[in-house]
A and B are shown apart, each in its own frame.
Chain A
Amino acid sequence: MNATPAPMPRWLEIFGLPLVNLLMAMIVSGLIVLAIGENPFAAIGAMAAGAFGDLYGIGYTLYYATNFIFTGLAVAIAFHAGLFNIGGEGQAYIGGLGAGLMALLFDHSLTMWPMLALGLVASAVFGAAWAFVPAYLQAKRGSHIVITTIMFNFLAAALMVYLLVNVFRVPGSMEVVSRDFEASAGVPYVHALLTAIGIEMPQTPLNLAFLWALICCGLVWVYLWRSRGGYELRTAGLAPKAAQYAGISPNRVTIEAMLISGALAGFLGFNEIMGNHRQIVLDFVAGAGFTGIAVALMGRNHPFGIILASVLFGALFQGGSEVAFEIPTITRDMIVVMQGLVILFSGALAYVNRPLLEKLWKLYQARKNAKAAAVVAPVSPAAAPDAPVALAEETATLAATPAAPEPEALETTPMPKPAPVEEVLEVVEAEIVTMGPGAEPPPAAPRRKRGPKKSKRKPGEV
């Protein structure tokens, strides 16, 4: 702990930090590209052009983003409940099975909207069911959910291969895929809709599932921060004992969170199977479950952040394909590396860049103050009281008449009213879970929560 609290405004914390983390990942990736003898800037250029250069690129970018939003939300919900769901991969796979199964069974008999609704529900139910077993085992038998969800990824893969080879494969065909669905079991493409209203857009797999992904973000936000269930979920995630005290069953929360998480991951299957492939195929999840971890971490487990991070990763994947096309030595696997780096920097090394950014901010402030000091008299540090830190837990000894001891006086000094912008950010901040299961941030320099932003230190004071 530092003697001087490091002031960092919330906007910097919420938007700056993920950007710095991303930048670090990009720099390391750039070094790798450099190491294999290619020009990283050319790669970035090709990537940006490929991802956002035209409607085709944008279409693909958003199509990938759809997947990542679903898996990102899945990981985030589990994080809020104090669980690490590594099983998004398998849950999405089985979710796709659910959608595909419904399509194969009913695409002849149902019209489009009922068919799609059925597929959507089935993908959620199947995904949730695949998450239920690890959740149940965690809740009732204490099996480590990280390990069981990993195992369930492998089990899902084995099951899907078996089903495709032995059940769904068109007899006589060598290809390990199911038959094509009827048109009724296809989610309307965005390019088709746009063309209908007169906007030309090349054919991309982007479909209405993207809209559903955005709606899911809204629903997840409402659930987490505006519903009783979400309140209980977060309580159980942050303070399991407090949850018990409040009459919240940790087991129920574990199962509920994983069911929602699995259902969200299952929607990826809907997007892929009914939106894109329109038949059941192998390996359509293609690592998106793990990308969800990166997305959730970068988006700080907040739906809004997850949308931004998903679009970013969508762009990386789409742009990555373009790069692979133009610079053959840089394969799509480079994007996997970047994704891993993002997890590393914004997850595992979350506490490395933060102090760095704080230092930079302080330096910047000190400079600004030095300039301002010439005009305005410095504000005494005592006038800007810090957020009180709860005093060391000890047993109170002697009950006595109050005499307002000094620390107390310091702590209860009324805080200055915050600016409205800060107020909003504060709410956003309160909604952010820093990290996964049970992880409490280390006592790095305590963050300033409120108070004037300027004049943290006297000029000349070191």
Chain B
Amino acid sequence: MEWFTTVLYLLGATIRVSTPLIFCAMAGLISERSGVIDIGLEGKMLAAAFAAAVVAALTGSAWDGLAAAVLVGAMLSLLHGFACITHRGDQVVSGVAINIIVSGLTVVLGNAWFQRGGETPQLQAEQRFMGVIFPGTDNISHLPLLGPLYVKVLSGQSLLTYIAFLLVPAVAWLLYRSRFGLRLRAVGENPAVVDTAGISVDFLRYRAVVLGGILCGFAGAYLAIAQNAGFQRDMTAGRGYIALAAMIFGKWKPLPALYACLLFGFLDAGAPLLQGVKIYGNTELPVQLIQALPYALTVILLAGFIGKAIPPKAIGRPYIKER
């Protein structure tokens, strides 16, 4: 039964690791479907994580931390929007700028406020989003297979994790069933159509970008006050980019993007298990190879060896009325 324990662990870990990726991928998806490239996911998530940890530490409330994270995510999105939507700046450059500013600023502020080399104080359990225990775990746990699955994987995850998984159908619904989604998809394909239909292109894109920022806020809050107990320097560690890759791999569609997030999460969660595994007699599988696998896989996927991803037609191009 040892393998079963491993599987349970792996499933649980995959879900945990995937959570911030899902938030970020959905954030990027909404933004990019409106035609605005969102390479600043990493920075927004990092800033949100910082804000969440700081506020949770100060007020002692995880909810305050989440609110702060969402606020900071939205503010940075507004900055991105100001640069790229209002002033038609380059979207990739703006995203890179946000990432760099945040990576420096979080450490500067953290250091100035807490003098811990950029870390925030360790959070107590009540300042975090701890695991939610589902009802009936005691009664079901003895059931073979299903019991442990329910107790160890389905139950006991952070509230934010459940929100992340519910978010995917919600985003799909928003995109394909609501008026906002219809307009959003239209503006990402051909903004002039939206403009001549009497809808403000800028306002629409702003809403999309800010919505993305809010979701980045959730991602950051999850990292800092759910998965971990505080902020550490550069704690996102490239997850924003991985989420971006997952979204592209998911062809800018919610459900496939979720699968991509789970796949990358699975790789990340599985890496420690493969440590020390011997291949070819005495040679160990290098840890770094496993760590690099998501990135390598992303490159292979991007190389188009699996299907072809067609981005929204107007992506990356600021909308300028033609004469």
Is A166 in contact with chain B by the CB < 8 A criterion? Answer: yes
Complex: how many Å from CA A335 to CA B108? Answer: 10
Complex: how many Å from CA A297 to CA B298? Answer: 28
If A150-B241, A343-B93, A443-B320 touch, does A333 touch B107 (CB 8 Å cutoff)?
yes
Question: Of B89, B245, B304, which contacts A151 at CB under 8 A?
Answer: B245
| Chain B: interface size category | 35 or more
Q: What DSSP secondary structure best describes chain A's contact surface?
A: helix
State whether A143 touches B93 (Cβ < 8 A).
Answer: no
Which residues of B have CB within 8 Å of A331? 107-108, 111, 118
**How many chain-A residues does the 8 Å CB contact rule pick out?**
59
State whether A351 touches B104 (Cβ < 8 A).
Answer: no
In chain A, what residue has the closest Cβ to B287? A162
Q: Which of B100, B287, B304 has the most CB of A within 10 A?
A: B100
Question: What are the interface flags for B116-136 relative to A under an 8 Å C-beta threshold, 1 for contact and 0 otherwise?
Answer: 001000000000000000000
In chain B, what residue has the closest Cβ to A163? B288
State whether B304 touches A155 (Cβ < 8 A).
Answer: no
State whether A32 touches B105 (Cβ < 8 A).
Answer: yes
Question: What are the interface flags for B72-111 relative to A under an 8 Å C-beta threshold, 1 for contact and 0 otherwise?
Answer: 0000000100111001111011101111111111011101
- Tell me the minimal C-beta distance from B86 to chain A in angstroms: 9
Is A341 in contact with chain B by the CB < 8 A criterion? Answer: yes
If A143-B304, A161-B288, A435-B93 touch, does A348 touch B103 (CB 8 Å cutoff)?
no
Which residues of A have CB within 8 Å of B302? 137, 141, 143-144, 147-148, 151
Question: Of A144, A161, A339, A439, which contacts B248 at CB under 8 A?
Answer: A144
* Stretch of B9-17, B63-71, B289-297 lying at the A interface: B289-297
Complex: how many Å from CA A355 to CA B46? Answer: 33
State whether A333 touches B90 (Cβ < 8 A).
Answer: no
Which residues of A have CB within 8 Å of B317? 438
Question: What are the interface flags for A138-150 relative to B under an 8 Å C-beta threshold, 1 for contact and 0 otherwise?
Answer: 0001111011101
State whether B84 touches A348 (Cβ < 8 A).
Answer: yes
Question: Of A144, A147, A351, which contacts B89 at CB under 8 A?
Answer: A351
State whether B289 touches A158 (Cβ < 8 A).
Answer: yes
Complex: how many Å from CA A166 to CA B284? Answer: 11
In chain B, what residue has the closest Cβ to A353? B87
Complex: how many Å from CA A147 to CA B245? Answer: 7
State whether B90 touches A329 (Cβ < 8 A).
Answer: no
In chain B, what residue has the closest Cβ to A1? B323
10 contacts between A and B (CB under 8 A): A84-B93, A133-B299, A151-B241, A151-B298, A154-B292, A158-B289, A333-B108, A344-B83, A344-B98, A348-B90
